[in-house]
Amino acid sequence: FETEQGRKFFESLEEKYDNQANLFVLGKLEGDWGNVRRHCLVQAAAVEVLGDALGFPVEVVMCMAQVAVLHDSRKRIDVMYDRRLTRGQEPLDFTKEQAVFFDYVFQIANPDPALTSALTPWFLPKVLLGKASFLQLIQFLVDDMAKGDEIVSFDERIDEVSARNPNPEPEVEKLLGRPYWDVEREVGHRVITMVASILKARYVVFDESNPGRSLADLINQRIAERISEV
């Protein structure tokens, strides 16, 4: 996003996934909320390059990228309504009708609700029951590597978000029977190990001594390559 080529690249992603990117407008992700928009787009770029590296079919990669684009598009609505409930009747950025219309468009634009569900705290119990698909696990992993509008190592991202939000969903933690972020780390590390094995089998250059950091470097390098081609 910091260079002209970078801006053009991410603008091209918005055009490519326009049905999902339209939610940025409906969700008013502009001004101070533009960081959420950038977060969604960098996550889509990461899904594209990692999906390609893992050998996913084009249509699968596109579906996962569409989910990444829209996954946080409702954030401003959620925050504004939470503030209204906790702080009293302060002005809202959205009318009730606008929020309802957003949800209607979101349902239409969401290509795979099962993949979208992998980006919520309630996904962890499903993983522990052995009911998570491979694609869901990859969607989950990339989401946990997206720190704002950059891709970082899984552990760096979890360190940051767990310090800021120690228990994002108390009901899930009760169900898990142990600290939420302990389970999140455990699952993430297992997925990284699986991804590293697949990349090795596909002869993708990858430093196995530090797979978490290497995976972030690989994704960032391939995104940078795509930006340079714009």
Report pLDDT for 53. Answer: 97
Give the pLDDT confidence of 163-199 residue by residue, as tens digits. 999 999 999 999 999 999 999 999 999 999 999 999 9
- Say how far apart CA 14 and CA 100 lie, in whole Å: 23
- DSSP SS3 for 151: strand
Identify whether the C-beta of residue 222 lies closer than 8 Å to the C-beta of residue 206. Answer: no
CA–CA distances in Å: residue 102 to residues 15, 74, 96, 161, 200:
19, 8, 10, 27, 42
Ranges of residues in the chain whose predicted pLDDT is under 50: none
DSSP state, 32?
Answer: G
- DSSP SS3 for 150: strand
- Indicate the pTM of the whole model: 0.94
Contacts 24+ apart (CB under 8 A), 109-115: 109/19, 109/20, 109/22, 109/23, 109/66, 109/70, 110/67, 110/70, 111/63, 111/66, 111/67, 112/63, 112/64, 112/66, 112/67, 115/63, 115/64, 115/67, 115/139
